[in-house]
Amino acid sequence: MKITLPDNSLRELPEGSSGYDLAKDIGPGLAKSAVAVTINGIQKDLHDVIEGDVSASIITIDSDEGIEIMRHTLTAQVLARAVKNIYPNSKLAIGPTIEDGFYYDVETEEAISIDDLKKIEDEMIKIVKTKSSITKKLVSKEEALKIFKSQKETYKESIIDESEQISDFQLYYQDDKKFVDLCRGPHLPNLSFVGAFKLTKVSGAYWKGDSKNKMLTRIYGTAWKNEKELNKYLTTLDEAQKRDHRKLGKEMNLFHFQDEAPGMVFWHPDGWTIYRNLRNFVRKRLQDNDYIEVNTPQVIDRKLWEASGHWDKYRENMFITEIDEEHANEKRVNALKPMNCPGHVQIYNQGIKSYKDLPLKYAEFGLCHRYEPSGTMHGLMRVRAFTQDDGHIFCTEDQIESETGLFIEFLSNIYADLGFKDFDIKLSTRPEMRVGSDKTWDKSEKALEDAIKNLGYPYRIDEGDGAFYGPKLDFVLTDAIGREWQCGTFQLDFNLAERLDAQYVGEDGKKHYPVMIHRAVLGSFERFIGILIENYSGKLPFWLAPQQVVIASIISDVNDYSIEIMEQLKKEGIRAEVDLRNEKISYKIREHSSKKVPIIIAIGKSEKSEKTVSIRRIGSSETEILELNEALKQIKKENILVST
RNA sequence: GCUCAUAUAGCUCAGCGGUAGAGCACUUGCUUGGUAAGUAAGAGGUCACCGGUUCAAGUCCGGUUAUGAGCUCCA
Query: Residue A64 has what pLDDT?
Result: 92
Marked catalytic residue, from A518, A539, A575, A616 = A518
Cα distances (Å, whole numbers) of residue A503 to A402, A439, A636: 21, 20, 48
Could you give the CA distance from residue A505 to residue A247 in angstroms, rounded to a whole number? 54
Q: Is the CB of A620 under 7 A from strand B?
A: no
Kindly name the residue from A72, A91, A370, A430 that is annotated as catalytic.
Answer: A370
Helices (H), A153-268: 154-162, 227-242, 245-251
Is strand B less than 7 A from the beta carbon of A89? Answer: no
Does the active-site annotation cover A590? no
Cα–Cα distance for residue pair A319/A264, rounded to 1 Å:
13
**Whether pLDDT at A31 is above 50:** yes
Torsion-angle region of residue A186: left (phi > 0), alpha (psi -120 to 50) or beta? beta
Query: Measured CA to C1', what is the nucleotide nearest A250?
Result: B11
Across the range A243-252, mean pLDDT stands at 93
Is residue A48 within 8 A of residue A18, CB to CB? The reply is: yes
Q: Is the peptide bond before A373 cis (omega within 30 degrees of 0)?
A: no
- CA dihedral (A272, A278, A283, A284) positive or negative: positive
Strand A320-322's sheet: what is its strand order?
Answer: A299-301, A333-336, A320-322
- A602 CA – B36 C1', rounded, Å: 14
pLDDT tens readout for residues A149-178: 999 899 999 999 888 888 889 999 999 999
Q: Which amino acid, A482?
A: G
Tally of CB atoms within 10 A around A562? 24
Q: What is the greatest pairwise CA distance in chain A?
A: 93
Q: Assess whether A518 carries a catalytic annotation.
A: yes
Residue A263 has pLDDT above 50, yes or no: yes
Catalytic residue flag (residue A165) = no
pLDDT at A518 over 90: yes
SS3 of A447, please? Answer: helix
Cα(A588)–Cα(A256) distance, rounded to whole angstroms? 25
Say if CB A428 and CB A384 are below 8 A apart: no
Would you call A472 a catalytic residue per the annotation? Answer: yes
- Candidates A433, A462, A434, A432; CA nearest to A448 is A462
The pLDDT score that the predictor gives to residue A325 is: 67
Catalytic one of A45, A105, A116, A390: A390
Residue A21 CA and nucleotide B5 C1' are separated, in Å, by 50
Cβ-based neighbour number of residue A253 at 10 Å: 13
How distant is C1' of B34 from CA of A69, in Å?
Answer: 58
Subset of residues 22-81 in chain A with CB less than 7 angstroms from any atom in strand B: none
CA of A381 vs C1' of B58, distance in Å? 33
**What's the CA–C1' distance between A616 and B9, in Å?**
35
Closest CA to A523 of A471, A477, A487: A487
Q: How far is the CA of A603 from the C1' of B29 (A)?
A: 26
Sign of the C-alpha dihedral computed for residues A415, A418, A421 and A425 taken in this order: negative
CB < 7 A to strand B: residues 311-340, chain A: 313-314, 317, 338-339
Distance A232 CA to B16 C1' (A): 36
- Distance (Å, rounded) from C-alpha A150 to C-alpha A180? 12
Distance CA A411, CA A426 (A): 14
Q: Is the peptide bond before A186 cis (omega within 30 degrees of 0)?
A: yes
Active site residue A183: no
A399 is catalytic: no
Query: Strand B closer than 7 Å to the CB of A368?
Result: yes
Query: Cβ of residue A387 near strand B, that is under 7 Å?
Result: no
* Å separating the CA of residue A257 from the C1' of nucleotide B26: 22
Q: What average pLDDT is seen over chain A?
A: 92
* Ordered DSSP codes for A103-124: EEEEE-SSPP-GGGHHHHHHHH
Phi then psi dihedrals of residue A181, to 5 deg: -135, 140
The tens digit of pLDDT for each residue in A537-559 reads: 999 999 999 999 999 999 999 99
A598-619 per-position pLDDT tens digit = 999 999 999 999 999 999 999 9
A266 Cβ within 7 A of any nucleic strand B atom: no
Catalytic site residue from A187, A245, A392, A434: A392
Q: Is A32 helix (H, G, I), strand (E, B) or coil?
A: helix
What does the alpha-carbon distance between residue A48 and residue A37 come to, in Å, rounded to a whole number?
Answer: 9
Instruction: Mark residues 186-205 of chain A whose C-beta is closer than 7 A to nucleic acid strand B.
Output: 201-205
DSSP code string of A172-200 = EE-TT---EEE------SBGGG--EEEEE
Contacts of A419 (CB under 8 A, 6+ apart): A480, A532, A535, A536, A541
pLDDT band at A272 (very low <50, low <70, confident <90, very high): very high
A520 closest CA partner among A639, A617, A623, A407: A407
Q: Cβ distance A197 to A103 under 8 Å?
A: no
Q: What angle do CA A17, A21, A22 make, to 5 degrees?
A: 95
Q: Are A143 and A170 in contact (CB under 8 A)?
A: no
Question: Helices A154-162 & A141-150, crossing angle to 10 degrees?
Answer: 160
Residue A644 banded pLDDT, cuts 50, 70, 90: very low
Say which residues have a Cβ less than 8 Å from residue A406's Cβ, sequence separation at least 6: A289
pLDDT at A544: 95
Cα A239 → chain centroid: 17
CB contact at 8 A, A638 and A543: yes
Nucleotides of B under 7 A from a protein CB: 1-5, 11-12, 30-38, 65-75
pLDDT digits (tens, 9 = 90+) for A396-451: 999 999 999 999 999 999 999 999 988 999 999 998 888 888 888 888 899 899 98
Gap from A124 CA to B8 C1', in Å? 37
Does the pLDDT of residue A285 top 90, yes or no? yes
Q: Percent helix, strand and coil across chain A, each rounded to 5?
A: 40, 30, 35
Q: Which nucleotide has its C1' atom closest to residue A555's CA?
A: B32
CB < 7 A to strand B: residues 560-589, chain A:
582-587, 589
Q: Collect contacts of A315-320 with beta carbons under 8 A, ≥24 apart.
A: A316/A371, A317/A370, A317/A371, A317/A372, A318/A369, A318/A370, A318/A371, A319/A369, A319/A370, A319/A371, A319/A384
- A370 catalytically annotated: yes
Whether CB of A137 is under 7 Å from strand B: the answer is no
Q: Are A169 and A138 in contact (CB under 8 A)?
A: yes
Q: Which of A388, A399, A491, A548 is catalytic?
A: A388
Give, to the nearest 10 degrees, the angle between helix A559-571 and helix A628-638.
40
**What sign results for the dihedral spanned by CA atoms A578, A581, A585, A588?**
negative
Question: Does residue A110 approach strand B to less than 7 Å at its CB?
Answer: no
Judge whether A343 and A368 are in contact, CB under 8 Å. no
Task: Give the integer Cα–Cα distance in Å for A520 and A284.
Answer: 15
CA of A14 to C1' of B64 (A): 72
Closest nucleotide (C1' vs CA) to A263 is B66
| Contact yes or no for A25/A13 (Cβ under 8 A) | yes
Distance between the alpha carbon (CA) of A168 and the C1' atom of B19, Å: 72
| pLDDT tens per residue, range A460-517 | 999 888 888 889 999 999 888 888 899 999 999 988 999 999 999 999 999 999 999 9
Straight-line distance from the first to the last Cα atom of chain A, in angstroms, rounded to the nearest whole number: 74
Nucleotide of closest approach to A368 (CA, C1'): B75
SS3 annotation, A603-628:
ECHHHHHHCEEEEEECCCCCEEEEEH
pLDDT confidence bin for A643, thresholds 50/70/90: very low
Q: Which helix (H) or strand (E) holds A218?
A: strand A215-224
Determine the average pLDDT of the residues in A254-264. Answer: 93
